[in-house]
Amino acid sequence: MKTETEIETMIKSSPKVVGTKQVLRSIASDELRCVVISEDADEALKSKLIDASMKSDIEVCYAPSMEWLGHASEIAVGAAVVGILKC
């Protein structure tokens, strides 16, 4: 399990997609190496993202909050999920 610092560094230094629709589309296209899900995101949404990630054998990490994840992603709003693209 990655620490918050490791997750933040990975998000800031890697190409990424932000948001549920983009992440699910990228999972289906086999473009992601990791998915970072906010712990305070909607439970149904988290389940959908976790299931899709597990089926595609993509690592799942967790952020403490949507606000934290949005800040780490350098966007002005909270984010439920961020996908780290394969390089």
Q: At what angle do helices 20-28 and 43-55 cross, to 10 degrees?
A: 20
Q: Give all domains of the chain, ordered by start, each with its CATH number.
A: 4-85 (3.30.1330.30)
- The pLDDT assigned to 87 comes to 81
Among 65, 51, 87, which Cα is nearest to 8's? 65
H or E, element range at 46: helix 43-55
Question: pLDDT tens for residues 5-23?
Answer: 999 999 999 999 999 999 9
pTM of this structure = 0.95
